[in-house]
Structure 1
Amino acid sequence: MKKNTTRLVAATSAVAAISLLLAGCSNPTSSSSDDADTSAADYWPKATAKLDGVKLTMWVAQVSNKIPVKVVKDFEKATGATVSLQTIPDPYEQNVQTKITTGDAPDLAFWQPTKSMLAGFIAQDKLQKLDNAPWVDNYVDGIADAGGVVDGTRYATLVSTPPVMGVFYNKQVFEKAGITQTPKGWDGYVQAAQKIKDANIPGVESPLFEMGGSQWGTQYSVQIQLAEAAKDGLWDRVNKGEEKFTDSTIQSAVDNYQSLFDKGLYNTNAGSAKDTDESSALFEGKTGMVICVNSLFNQIAALANNDKATLDEKIGYFPLSSEGNIGTSIPEQNNAVLAFKTGDAKKEAAARQFINFWLTEDYENFVKDQGIVSVMKDVKSPENVPQALIDSADAINGSVGSMQSLAIANPDLYINLADMINGTKSAKDVTQATQDQFAQLAKAQGATGF
């Protein structure tokens, strides 16, 4: 079961990233690929070229260490290379950054392909450039732009569809409440929740459900309301200090979220409930809607024994934004792979070859093994993929990046929102605390305007 790794990317990881940034100012890593022509034919070796005797290391998290196992076996068989998968303990992001800072580095690694999480490695010149990759034009619409590119250079390869924040809903609850169309915009979402509440459906304990005890899911209800503003450059303005979390756009989103609790639309134990409680409540029809990402659906799928028919009958998905149905994408560490500079030209080329093999020669085998939606135009998704995941993947086209994707730092918004749910912070306290932390992190990076 995959879990949402975004909750691990908190202030500790941001501080570690800053350490990388500062180290990068004086000690860039020299590599034979520094000035390589990424468009040259030999920069991307043939996927199955022989690599007898070459040994590569790939770092993976505890929640993602099974994902590349079959790809590794297939690559080793096809090329003669050896790829060692090394599980880095949680918190994965913090521990990886610490190891990199002390001079340790793998050939490859799973990593969240967002601007804030790539910044430190880029500043220290630790990453190989992955431009002009032979598979990029084969990505389905929206994937190439969903992550991994910073200032026009690709540093990460997406191997699966990034989650898109949206609403997972219980179809049977909708039917009993007389809701025949999925809501459009925040107001439509609130109206649907109120309709479920007013219907007094037996067994439905609340129209909405929140996991304040697990904390990490609290941010999604706020972030989806910022989609239109993000398309209009919100995070660029925040990055420059021209707009703040305390200004009206983000403050209104937090206020709107708080108002749902005031209206009694959430579960009474919202402050202490866990993500597992949320997935159970939606699957069992005790709640009508939850705003979350794929990781929660994976928990629901486990409750259904991964039976597509059951899941298709019970659970649906639609993207949501303030004014309509724009998706907000939030790539996770298990969605993307980095290739590091090691100073060994042969191993660096082999790392690129492994990625090439994964995304071309072996991709059909990979999606069948994982039972996931394909990100390649010429590879069909397996027939057992639930419709809700297909709909979530489709929402990537036309989506906008999340705070994690577009902001230069990733403050603890989700923790502050959990505090609000539990009554220890007001809505204004949330935005002020988030702004204070963001400004501190941005200033430490040397960003102007702070």
Structure 2
Amino acid sequence: MRRTTARLPIAALAALITAALAGCGNPTAGGSGSGPLPEASADMDLKGVTLTVWQSNTLQAGYKTLFEEFEKETGARIRSEVFPDPYESNLLTKWTTGTRPDLMVFQSTASYLQRLNPKKNLYDLSGQDFVAKQRFGLADSASVYDGRNYGLTLEPPSVFGLWYNKEVLAASGLKPPTNLAGLHTVCAALKRKNPGVAPLYDAGGDQWTTQILPFMLWADAMKGGLQDGLNTNKARWTDPAVVDSLKAYKKLVADGCFNKNLRTGTYAEQEELFAAGKVAMIPQGTWVSADFVKSVGVERMNKSMGWQALSASTPTAAYATTFSVQMPRTGDRKREQAALAFLKFASGPAYQKFVDVQKQAPTLDGFTTPAEVPEATGAAYAALQGGTDSAPQLFAADFGPFPTYMSKLINGTSSPEQVAGDLQAAWTKSAKAVGLPGF
């Protein structure tokens, strides 16, 4: 199974990028400044204009479809500049040279936006129609910095939850757990009733997936105010809620709830064994849906796969914003006009085709969710609309290479308290580097 673009947000949230990012760019580069947005329309004639777009090497098909349709409609040309993994750090390295694209598909979290010095280097899109049309609270959470909106978000947030095999749980007379205590109960029952199936699978070999369950378990505390406390330096990562989530992960390992090859397991094997019914549950993000649609199809997914919100005490779903399309200031008025025309085109009638190609819920009002969206994925999206409680993960700074810390926890070389201390040390360093108030 292929690695999807959408897995990047969770990995990116934990990446600590240290190379001269506070200023984010050569002050003489491009056309940065405070000039207003140009006038533009989605169907204007743009023959002879070429727009450079920065993107990852695993950009999803929906974006490519939009680029092609935009070229056909307006006569403009899209020149893609592709960055290899690690996408974010490679893009930011080039950004610091002063080079600017006309558009970029980049992370929408505040911790990344601040590295771009958005007030100087990006156009504020707050007054655009598509911002008001955003669903899932994205107008307040995605590409927002200092009260301004700097991006068009076309993908729904990545929702973290427990994907479970309906047939495996039903065969043992079990229902999906909604909290940590229930997870322990289901694990113990499965080991007793169906020892040939791993209750949980995590990919310690790939590392990045091991962050997801802690994100889920601390969602209750973050929603309760811990996240705001961290962002304002009124709380610390050594808070009991964080330490307890790490202790809970370690206990699940000690109790034999995970796959036997936890230390070397891979994302690809996680998805393969879960789809085959050899794993009962996986903590994952909604990005896995596209892989499952390709490997087993929607009909099979609806029959065998379910999704459940889960946190320490309540069925609260943690979620994170994904990529947005941002419009840097280049100083070339004609290209800036064309770039805004693309944003209007992408959020207009062309957006339904993007949604259909992506097989996702629309992030803008006025569009239809395709029938190919699996029921489990739909349940995760419903968590963002009041069907289940939810909590955004909106951290204003970085907390270090969390996958590396989790690897040490799994290997027994770091305790939960030491991992929490590492998170705090990285957080303080990052917050000071970017000038976060209160640090």
TM-score in terms of structure 1 length: 0.89
Aligned partner of residue 117 in structure 2, secondary structure: helix
Please name the residue that 1:21 is paired with. Answer: 22
Show structure 2 runs of 5+ residues with no match. none
| Alpha-carbon displacement from aligned partner over 1:361-386 (angstroms, at most 9, x marks no partner) | 20111112222222233211222222
Report the CA distance shift for 1:58/1:98 in structure 2 as closer, same or farther (over 3 A): same
Alpha-carbon separation, structure 2, partners of 1:22 and 1:377: 36
SS at the partner of 1:317? Answer: strand
The one-letter code matched in structure 2 to 1:233 is G
Shift of 1:428: 1.6
Alpha-carbon offset, residue 136 of structure 1: 2.8
Q: Distance in 2 between matches of 1:190 and 1:324?
A: 14
CA offset at residue 34 of structure 1? 1.6
AA aligned opposite 1:212: G
Q: How many angstroms does 1:33 deviate by?
A: 6.6
Q: SS at the partner of 1:253?
A: helix
Q: Secondary structure at the match of 2:366?
A: coil
Gap change, CA 1:267 and 1:12, over 3 Å in 2: closer
Structure 2: how far apart are the matches of 1:226 and 1:105?
A: 38
Find the aligned partners of 1:299 and 1:423 in 2 and give their Cα distance.
32
- Quote the residue 1:414 is aligned against: 403
Between the aligned partners of 1:28 and 1:401, the Cα distance in structure 2 is 36
**SS of structure 2 residue aligned to 1:377:** coil
Any residues of structure 2 matched to 1:276-287 within 5 Å, and which? 276-287=268-279
How many Å separate the matches in 1 of 2:155 and 2:13?
A: 23
AA paired with 1:99?
K
CA contact (8 A) 1:28 1:124 kept: no
Q: 1: distance between equivalents of 2:60 and 2:102?
A: 16
Confirm or deny: 8 A CA contact 2:134 2:364 kept in the other structure.
yes
Q: Distance in 2 between matches of 1:45 and 1:410?
A: 40
Q: Where in structure 2 are the equivalents of 1:25-44 lying within 5 Å?
A: 27=27, 31=31, 34-36=34-36
CA distance in 1, matches of 2:107, 2:270: 25
Tell whether the 8 Å contact from 1:138 to 1:376 is kept in structure 2 after alignment. yes
> Who is 2:344 aligned against?
356
- Matching residue's letter, 1:312: N
Structure 1: unaligned runs, 5 residues or longer? none
**Aligned in 2, Cα 1:44/1:309: closer, same or farther, shift over 3 Å?**
farther
Tell me if 1:322 matches 2:312: yes
CA contact (8 A) 1:127 1:339 kept: yes
Asked if 1:185 is matched to 2:176, the reply is no
Question: Does the Cα contact within 8 Å between 1:29 and 1:126 map onto a contact in 2?
Answer: no
Farther off after superposition, 318-327 or 3-12: 3-12
Structure 2: distance between partners of 1:280 and 1:51: 46
User: Which deviates more, 229-238 or 113-122?
Assistant: 229-238
Q: Percent identity?
A: 28
What is the deviation of 1:199? 1.7
Deviation at 1:194, TM superposition (A): 2.4
- Matches of 1:367 and 1:65 in 2, distance apart? 11
Judge which range, 138-147 or 56-65, deviates more: 138-147
Q: Secondary structure at the match of 1:255?
A: helix
Contact kept? 1:197, 1:207, Cα under 8 Å: yes
CA distance in 1, matches of 2:371, 2:152: 25
Give the counterpart of 2:283 among 266, 282, 291. 291
The count of aligned residue pairs is 433
The separation in 1 between residues aligned to 2:96 and 2:401, in whole angstroms, is 23
Matching residue's letter, 2:253 = F
Superposed CA offset, 1:155-178 (max 9, x none) = 121101121011111111111121
Structure 1 position 30, deviation (Å): 7.2
Local SS of the residue matching 1:298: helix
Say if 2:157 is the partner of 1:168: no
Q: Check the 8 A contact 2:399/2:424 in 1, yes or no.
A: no
Alignment partner for residue 108 of structure 2, among 113, 116, 139? 113
2:40 pairs with 1:45 = yes
CA distance in 1, matches of 2:140, 2:163: 24
Q: Supply the distance in 2 between the matched residues of 1:14 and 1:434 (Cα, whole angstroms).
A: 14
Q: Which of the residues 63, 75, 80 maps onto 2:75?
A: 80
1:255 to 247, 258, 269: 247
Match of 1:392 among 380, 394, 397: 380
1:401 counterpart letter in structure 2: P
RMSD: 2.3
